[in-house]
Structure 1
Amino acid sequence: MADTGGLWGHIVQFVLPQATWNTLVLLAGSGLIATMVGTGAAWIVSAYDFRGRWFLEWGLLLPLAVPTYIMAYAYLDILNPLGPVQGVLRWVLGYSSPREFRLPDIRAMWGAILVFGFVLYPYVYLTARAMFLTQAANVTEVARTLGVPRSGIFWRVALPLARPAIVVGVSLALMEVLNDVGASQFLGVRTLTATVYTTWIVRTDLAGAAQIAISMLAIVLAVLMLERWARRNQRFASTAQNARQMQRQVLRGPAALIAFLLGVAPIVIGFAGPALYLIVAAIRRVEFAGLSASLLRATINTVSVSAMATLAILSIGFAVAYAARLSTSRWTSGAMRVAALGYAVPGTVLAIGILVPVAAFDRTLGNLWHAWTGLSGGLLLLGSGAALIYAYAARFLAISVGGIDAGLSRIPPSYDHASRTLGQSAGGTLTKVHLPLSRSALTAAGLLVFVDCMKELPATLLLRPLNFESLATLLYGEAARGTYEDAALAALIIVAIGILPVILLARTSRAATP
């Protein structure tokens, strides 16, 4: 890396303070909204029974299909002064032009906080709802016996018991905020992640970007430590045998309507509104210009690279999870922990960490090839996309390992013993017992990894080969140029494919619901 000289002093004085403040404010605001919306929605569908609750159970997961940069891209067009929302408001209020009436510009910190909060609340909703569903009825009955009113059960019993799960969901949401580069740039908020990208790409200053990335790691470690600290000494267990699930309170009339509207509001803001806009904009684009060749190439690139990365990640993840099943040594447990670290590292930071050694390897290999053949070797890893697949593997290996390990843990050890007793070798037990029984876990993990690879923007922007466009980078480029209609189709394809793991999560959630 180049000699930075006095660059670090300039970064500390003029760049880091504002970018760090913006990042912390964005984390605090979006985390607060995600906590309030996710926890409230989880309690509504867990504690009450009303018409339409079955829809809210899975509908509240739909914002997971919308990446944050697509949400920002959609609302920039929906809420601009000439957009449909402000147009309808001016018509209702009797104004004729944006000069007479206009809403505050969404390109501000408050806009970014709302976007992140309403896209990422499902992380909190999933973990909080799982905890609410496992709280036994005897706990609430004891609380009622001790004089706690029904209205106080949430604040005095359910919420304290669910706090560790809520903290886990919030930490996942905050890591997604740290990873984002598109939404914050679209909305004019200069976060540390956006600063790393502009320093590297716009100012061609890799050394400065690396130094800012080091500062980001401190925030990542702080988020992880906060999650561990918040869950310190938090151990809850139910001692009741054959514990009954908490009985839902039946709501009717206005109370049922209010509960349904409160539950459906996050779905409308976080999914239905942007999705409807994308559908309308995509139809207009197709009617006007048809399907562009660049969109088809980007779709093929996205599917092919994501598929190759998914195969690699599943293979590595299965090897790590299977080794952990066969051995309980420190090496295997350490490998499991290392595999989980990549998901906590933002894509921009990961890209810088990968670029330096990979570029050095490419140069060394190119020099050797030139000395041997007299021909230029080019950039083997960076030019072929192998570095991008490596980045995907490092970032999303935790999803593969966690999902496959959960599937293998459901196979009793007695199956292994029976297989070996019947004459099967270790390899035969793997191919004839473990692989067939863990097929559903492999499929679910593969689907989640594929969609995450397809949606990943920061690492793709920084490590993609020349003349390579994915759906995410195509959308980013069009939105950066202000040609929103041209990016609508790419965004709609991403959202449509992103719905697949949401359907899987909804099916799993409903199967686990009594």
Structure 2
Amino acid sequence: MRGALNLLLTPLCLLLALPVLGVLGAWATLDEAALAVLAHQWQTVLPEYALQSAGLALCVGVGVMALGSATAALVTLFEFRGRRVFEWALLLPLAMPAYVLAYAWTDALQFSGPLQTVLREAFGWRGALWPDVRSFWGAVLLFVLCLYPYVYLLVRAALGERAVRLMEAARLLGAPMRRRVLQVALPMARPALAAGVALALMETLADYGVGAYFGLSTFSTGIYKAWLVMNDRIAAAQLAAVLLLVVGGLLLAERAAQRQLRFATSRAGITSAEARPTVLRGGGAVAAWAVCGLPVLLGFVLPVLWLGRMLWQEAHYSDFGLPLARFAEWAWASFRLAGTAALAATLLALALGFALRQRGGVGAAVLQPAARVLSLGYAVPGAVIAVGILIPAGWVQARWPEAGVAALVTGTAFGLLYAYLVRFSAVALQSVEAGYARVPAAIDETARMLGSGPLRLFTRLHLPLLQRSALAAALLVFVDVMKELPATLVLRPFGSDTLAVVAYNFARDERLAEAALPSLAIVAVGLIPVVMLSRALRAPAEG
């Protein structure tokens, strides 16, 4: 059975890696026409895409680095009133997709919005009272508010192990507070800081909703425009390949930083009862409240309240029956796709986790690298995956029309689910492997000595122990699928819109009030992993 499972899973992993290989393979077929397209893009749009994407990544990286490390240091190294609330509240912006945050703040701050209108009428002012939020700097601010929790989480974990004890030692040696924080505590978190920034940058480069809504010229918006607007698959493939190489470099940097996290998580030494967080009072406590409270307020609380206001107005001043009925259709389409993808990804992750744990049988040497290739999928932007699916499908269709491959993956639920598995199977596999890491290998040996075969070992022993990990994997994939926009826009079945697509279409048509309901539904679903993560972070402290 072990060899049969390996032989089944290896081609499946390679099949899920095909979109990435398809995008990279576009460079292997550089004929005269492709070179002409590349030269034309180099002379026209490619420099703009590169400069704006690089500028956006640079500014967002600096922002999440500053905000994430500051909030993590405050809740870890200092004690002030409300600190325990901020420990979990700072995670709330993770539930808010950047494009939903963009819709809320655009409606609130635009020239014709209620805030500017009331201020102009009250004080007799004229013209715009502040710059348009739909700009490069507006996008930078929104991405920082949505993505700083990546840095906050990793830096908080790194500082929580030894930083308080080392700061106490530095205090006894006479070091002032500023030096203790900047030269003792934060240098411990450098690998965690690098990993968090890399994750935030991958999310920034993969974004399509904010870039398209704000009119930015990034690689993701360029890929979508080249494929669906200009109908130029060669240009789309070339742009997708460039973006894939950039994201691959960020992924390597993130993996290198993750390997160094052991330095920050060492538990060596004896915990001192006197090593406690520094108590802040007066102005210091107010500053801590401001630094920790503003990201939560601007990145979650106020946008949710504003979306609720938009929804109430839409329900109060219009016929809400028809939109509500249509919302049920969109919600069912989203839940059906997300549920199916979550189930398939979790089953695949359980099978892969079990096969990798056995480390034997026919094909085991090939399965290991194939699974690692599969784990790269989460770092690949949705637009790249969509192009990577359509290019091989078009190539096969051109040579074997009777196969009907293009009809199978274009505008069908199968093609969309395939894209979701390519992108999010890594999330499920990571959760299952984390669960397996808590199951001692000696249990397997004992079961085999008692005569249990592989099937009985998995169903009667592993599966009950992995229930929580499997549930977490399914929930994480479910939420990620609910929020996914670019791949869904390109590959979705005709007449079957998801909540993310509907919210984007309403916002694009300036019908922001109608976009409030699907946006709030996406945020509500996104709260599920935030609550799980908050409980997981509290569990060790309580234990």
Q: Which stretch shows the higher mean deviation, 76-85 or 449-458? A: 76-85
Q: Is the aligned partner of 1:300 residue 2:300? A: no
**What's the CA shift string for 1:389-430, capped at 9, x where partnerless?**
111111111111111100111011222233233433221121
Equivalent pair of 2:77/2:163 in contact (CA under 8 Å): no
- Residue type of the partner of 1:338? V
SS of the equivalent of 2:525 reads helix
Displacement of 1:185 after TM fit? 1.5
Q: What is the rounded CA distance, in whole Å, between the counterparts of 1:131 and 1:5 in structure 2?
A: 48
Partner of 1:33: 63
Q: What is the rounded CA distance, in whole Å, between the counterparts of 2:467 and 2:261 in structure 1?
A: 34
Question: Within 5 A, what are the aligned runs for 1:106-505?
Answer: 106-135=133-162, 137-227=164-254, 236=263, 238=266, 240-243=268-271, 247-287=276-316, 288-291=318-321, 292=323, 293-327=325-359, 330-361=365-396, 367=402, 379-505=407-533
Q: Closer, same or farther in 2 for the Cα pair 1:393/1:16, shift >3 Å?
A: same
Q: Closer, same or farther in 2 for the Cα pair 1:247/1:333, shift >3 Å?
A: farther
- Residue type of the partner of 1:24? A
**What's the CA shift string for 1:242-300, capped at 9, x where partnerless?**
44595212223443233122211100111112111111111222232214243222111
Partner of 2:540: 512
Displacement of 1:136 after TM fit? 5.5
Q: Which stretch shows the higher mean deviation, 1-10 or 75-84? A: 1-10
- Residue type of the partner of 2:359? S
Q: Given the two structures, how large is their TM-score scaled by the length of structure 2?
A: 0.87
- Residue type of the partner of 2:96? V
Q: What is the rounded CA distance, in whole Å, between the counterparts of 1:230 and 1:323 in structure 2?
A: 28
Q: What is the rounded CA distance, in whole Å, between the counterparts of 1:194 and 1:182 in structure 2?
A: 9
SS of the equivalent of 1:379 reads helix
Identity among equivalent pairs (%): 38
Q: Closer, same or farther in 2 for the Cα pair 1:148/1:234, shift >3 Å?
A: farther
**What's the CA shift string for 1:25-68, capped at 9, x where partnerless?**
00011111111111111111111122211211111111111111
Q: What is the rounded CA distance, in whole Å, between the counterparts of 1:86 and 1:174 in structure 2?
A: 33
Q: Closer, same or farther in 2 for the Cα pair 1:30/1:491, shift >3 Å?
A: same
Q: Given the two structures, how large is their TM-score scaled by the length of structure 1?
A: 0.92
Q: Closer, same or farther in 2 for the Cα pair 1:454/1:418, shift >3 Å?
A: same
Equivalent pair of 2:503/2:519 in contact (CA under 8 Å): yes
Q: Closer, same or farther in 2 for the Cα pair 1:140/1:29, shift >3 Å?
A: same
Partner of 2:78: 48
The Cα RMSD (Å) is 2.4
Partner of 1:373: none
Partner of 1:372: none
Displacement of 1:192 after TM fit? 0.9
Displacement of 1:145 after TM fit? 4.1
Structure with more contact order per residue of length (Cα contacts < 8 Å, sep ≥ 6)? 2
Q: Which stretch shows the higher mean deviation, 228-237 or 239-248? A: 228-237
Q: What is the rounded CA distance, in whole Å, between the counterparts of 1:176 and 1:231 in structure 2?
A: 17
SS of the equivalent of 1:411 reads coil
Q: Closer, same or farther in 2 for the Cα pair 1:88/1:62, shift >3 Å?
A: farther
SS of the equivalent of 1:289 reads coil
- Aligned residues between the structures: 504
**What's the CA shift string for 1:418-477, capped at 9, x where partnerless?**
323343322112111111111111111111110001100011011112222111111111
> Which one of 102, 109, 131 corresponds to residue 129 of structure 2?
102
Equivalent pair of 2:383/2:487 in contact (CA under 8 Å): yes
Equivalent pair of 1:137/1:244 in contact (CA under 8 Å): no
Q: What is the rounded CA distance, in whole Å, between the counterparts of 2:253 and 2:353 in structure 1?
A: 27
**What's the CA shift string for 1:63-82, capped at 9, x where partnerless?**
11111111111111111012
Q: What is the rounded CA distance, in whole Å, between the counterparts of 2:517 and 2:403 in structure 1?
A: 44
Q: What is the rounded CA distance, in whole Å, between the counterparts of 1:206 and 1:352 in structure 2?
A: 8
SS of the equivalent of 2:375 reads helix
Q: Which stretch shows the higher mean deviation, 219-228 or 438-447? A: 219-228
Q: What is the rounded CA distance, in whole Å, between the counterparts of 1:395 and 1:491 in structure 2?
A: 22
Q: Which stretch shows the higher mean deviation, 403-412 or 332-341? A: 332-341
SS of the equivalent of 1:236 reads helix
- Residue type of the partner of 2:538? R
- Residue type of the partner of 2:514? D
SS of the equivalent of 2:376 reads helix
- Residue type of the partner of 1:65? A
Q: What is the rounded CA distance, in whole Å, between the counterparts of 1:35 and 1:89 in structure 2?
A: 35
Displacement of 1:334 after TM fit? 1.7
Q: Closer, same or farther in 2 for the Cα pair 1:6/1:502, shift >3 Å?
A: same
Equivalent pair of 1:455/1:472 in contact (CA under 8 Å): yes
Structure 1 residues not aligned, in runs of 5+ = 370-376
Displacement of 1:349 after TM fit? 0.9
Equivalent pair of 2:150/2:196 in contact (CA under 8 Å): yes
Q: Closer, same or farther in 2 for the Cα pair 1:365/1:384, shift >3 Å?
A: farther
Q: What is the rounded CA distance, in whole Å, between the counterparts of 2:108 and 2:367 in structure 1?
A: 50
Structure 2 residues not aligned, in runs of 5+ = 1-25
Equivalent pair of 2:375/2:425 in contact (CA under 8 Å): yes
